[in-house]
Structure 1
Amino acid sequence: MRALTNNKEEGRGKKEEGRNKSYPSSSFLLTPPLFNPEGDDSIEHREIWGGNSTGLMNLNNCKFQWAIALYRQMLENFWIPEKVDLSQDANDYKVLTDDEKQAYKGILSYLTFLDSIQARNLPNLSKQITAPEITLCFAVQEFQEVLHNHSYQYILESVIPANERQGVYDFWRSDEILRKRCEFIASIYQDYIDDPTTTKYMRSLLADYLLEGLYFYNGFIFFYVLASRHLCQGTSDVIRYINRDEMTHVNLIQKLLTNAGISSEMLSVDEIQAMFAAAVEYEIKWTNHIIGNRVLGITEASTEEYTKYLANLRLKAIGVPALFEDVRNPYQHLERLADTGAEGNVRADFFEVTVTSYNQSTSLDGDWNF
């Protein structure tokens, strides 16, 4: 068994120290004090975990330059759901088939769960971070998870008939497959909360990566498929904004996993692959349950291939061997829906993790000097 690989970065002309070291389990989960007068905020002593920070946001000099770049991108991605017009979507929803309506509501229900639990669990992960530039990223992500739930509420209020809205929120109560999906990810988070060990922290971090990097995307595909048929295009626009946010979240957790330098006893390749294999099984079962072969443009076969394709993509990004052979992206033709081609409009490759620009915000110019 081998440890996660490390990436080499440089910050402000100085090599980042400690990148190739293993964080000892004895100090990894020492929750840093809120204010530590004896702390040291210098770059040479700054660590992602287990550092001796004062607790202050000392951003004059930052060690992890990738975190600064990601934070700035996250700020540029600011958007407001009400700026998207959903009036036509309410009319389009009426002409959807019964199966499409069920998928529309079921997917919104699941997406609401995912972002709800993320918003609540992120502080459990971020409180261990001792590098302030990375804390910034977590703070923005937590806000974005809340914004996504706001967006789902906006869609429900704008598109779904009033007498059906509460049923969307409560769908997990009556749908056994959805409930098991929710319990799978929630139990990993809760296990760390109840017994905060280093291994369980890393499992929780990996579960976060699975949620951000695997669980959303078959649901997103459904809305892109509708938009490709000129249906519910406003909903698709909202999903694209959310999709781009998720790409930055994936990027953040990828960086943390590849920077951890942890020992195989904390989180082995075998365990990582096992968690991915379980997540893939849950994702395929749920998607085929709520969509199956009943929506034009999506099949059970394409769902399976796409889910396995994504899993391979995410595994390779953290230096872990892929699980599945001979799988490709069956939805490449939908790429155009994530790129309008117009200057200043939405651009996000929802099959990768690189995010470029948004259309509801302006770029931040200048450097990081205050």
Structure 2
Amino acid sequence: MSQTLTKVKILEPINPNKSTALFGGKASGILNWNDIAYPHFYTHREQIRALFWRASEVDMTQDTKQFSTLSEEEQNAFLKIIGLLATLDGPQTDIAGRISNLSTDPSVKSIMATIADQESEHNHSYAYVLSSVATLHKQNESFETGRKDEVLLKRNERIMEVYNEFSENPTIANLLKAMVYTTLLEGLFFYSGFAFFYNLARNQKMVGTSTMISYINRDELQHGRFISDLFRATLAENPEYNTAEFTDWVYDQFRHSVEQETIWSKYVLAGIDGIDLLEMEGYIKYRANKMLRLLGLSDIYEGYTDNPMKWIRAYVDNFDDTKTDFFEQKSRQYTKTSDLNGFDEL
């Protein structure tokens, strides 16, 4: 039976400042960045903190004028994709807080607090964008997409199941599963939507919105790096969960997610000038392979090691690629992501 986690006490001076485990360990609650269990987490902290921005800083003047000139297909896709992004980012603020509450490592709590704040700003940005281009009725309709659109509801079924199971039954096993889905959200589920806005921008349309999306994209890359690193470290500390069954479960979730993301992209991007749906499917598989490597696993889509949508590189940041046989490592052999070789674009 998997270990059940409970909320950590805020201050417990009898315990050491350096945590004895990421989850289910002991720590005083006092955070000394010069004495933490995983020193490279400080680098994650600095990289994430460096990304501070506010939605209100983005000038939406031209977008306000341009929205009505978009084709009907572009306007519909715009509103549906904003609805998708809001549906995914809203729970991310909550899940970051829940992971933080269960962690016995104060550095993790600090980083997750920053991630939660940024996810909250992402959600605010969607309302900010819509208020600039659509009536209140259309704005509300867009935010209802995640509750009413049958394709999107089907797409999000497993996310909902895994997150809610973690909420109701916070075991180590469910925590690991929730972190897998967090990396899927940060590194795969947003990307057909991001591509839509970048495609508009390369045609000099809705550049303000694209700028906002690029800020969100940049944040998500860093969040994905940290959560995948936290996942790897947690699994290393709890090797009893490092089983063939769990590995197969992770691969199954990625296959299912790629299938659902592909269905969604064909549904929402059909008829959009400049978007090749076959190319988009390849990009989704490429993204899945990259996120699997971040988790320490192998590619599952042969031939998708290079980005098939070369034009998108102008709109997204780069970061380290990773691949190790992590699922075969023991805790003392844990290797931080930043030490792994390889560097290429998302």
TM-score by length of 1: 0.81
Q: Is the 8 A contact 1:49 1:130 kept in 2?
A: yes
The alignment yields a C-alpha RMSD, in angstroms, of 2.2
2:301 paired with 1:332: no
Residue matched to 1:169: 143
The Cα shift of 1:214 comes to 0.8
Q: Is the 8 A contact 1:198 1:266 kept in 2?
A: no
1:179-328 map, 5 Å: 179-260=153-234, 261=236, 262=239, 263-265=241-243, 268-292=246-270, 294-327=271-304, 328=306
Q: Which amino acid aligns with 2:296?
A: G
**Residue 92 to residue 349, structure 1, CA distance change in 2 (3 Å):** farther
Alpha carbons of structure 1 residues 110 and 244: separation in structure 2 relative to 1, 3 Å: same
C-alpha deviation, 1:162, in angstroms = 3.3
Q: Offset of 1:268 from its aligned partner?
A: 2.1
Q: Which amino acid aligns with 1:178?
A: L
Larger RCO: 1 or 2 (CA < 8 Å, sep 6+):
1
Counterparts of residues 41-190 of structure 1 (less than 5 Å)? 41-42=17-18, 46-190=20-164
In the alignment, structure 1 residue 34 sits paired with structure 2 residue 10: yes
Say whether the 8 Å CA contact 1:202–1:267 is kept in structure 2.
no
Q: Which residue of 1 aligns with 2:318?
A: 349
Q: Please state which structure has a larger fraction of its residues in helix.
A: 2
Deviation of 1:60 after TM superposition, in Å, equals: 4.2
Between stretches 265-274 and 65-74, larger displacement belongs to 265-274
Deviation at 1:76, TM superposition (A): 1.3
Q: Where in structure 1 do 4 or more consecutive aligned residues deviate above 3 Å? A: 350-355
Whether the 8 Å CA contact 2:23–2:105 is kept in 1: the answer is: yes
Deviation at 1:182, TM superposition (A): 2.9
Say which SS state the counterpart of residue 65 (structure 1) adopts. coil
CA distance in 1, matches of 2:314, 2:119: 25
Alpha-carbon displacement from aligned partner over 1:72-94 (angstroms, at most 9, x marks no partner)? 12221111111111110122211
User: C-alpha separation between the residues in 1 aligned to 2:245 and 2:33?
Assistant: 31
Can you list the C-alpha shifts for 1:303-352, whole angstroms capped at 9, x where unaligned? 211111100111112221111111242221221234xxxxxxxxx23896
Corresponding letter in the other structure for 2:150 = E
Q: State the alpha-carbon separation in 2 of the partners of residues 337 and 197 from structure 1.
A: 38
Alpha carbons 2:45, 2:111 under 8 Å: kept: yes
Gaps of 5+ in 1: 1-23, 339-347, 356-370
Report if the CA contact (8 A) 1:244-1:350 is conserved.
no
**What is the number of equivalent residue pairs in this alignment?**
319
How big is the shift at 1:30? Answer: 4.8
In the TM superposition, what whole-angstrom CA distance separates every residue of 1:206-247 from its partner, at most 9, and x where no partner exists? 111111111111110100000000000010000011111101
Q: In structure 2, how many angstroms separate the alpha carbons of the residues matched to 1:352 and 1:241? A: 20
User: Match for 2:114: what amino acid?
Assistant: V
Report the AA paired with residue 190 of structure 1: N
Question: Could you tell me which amino acid in structure 2 is paired with residue 39 of structure 1?
Answer: N
Separation (CA, whole Å) in 2 of partners of 1:102 and 1:352: 35
Identity of aligned residues (%): 30
Is the 1:108–1:168 Cα contact (8 Å) retained in structure 2? yes
The TM-score with structure 2 as length reference comes to 0.86
Could you tell me how far 1:142 is from its partner in structure 2? 0.2
Distance 1:210 1:162, change over 3 A: same
Check whether the contact 2:285–2:301 (CA below 8 A) recurs between aligned residues.
yes
Name the structure 2 match of 1:363: none
Q: Indicate conservation of the 8 Å contact 1:40/1:53, yes or no.
A: yes
Amino acid at match of 1:80: R
Per the TM alignment, residue 130 of structure 1 is displaced from its structure 2 partner at its CA by 1.6
CA distance in structure 1 between the partners assigned to 2:312 and 2:286 by the alignment: 15
Which residue identity does 1:210 align to in structure 2? L
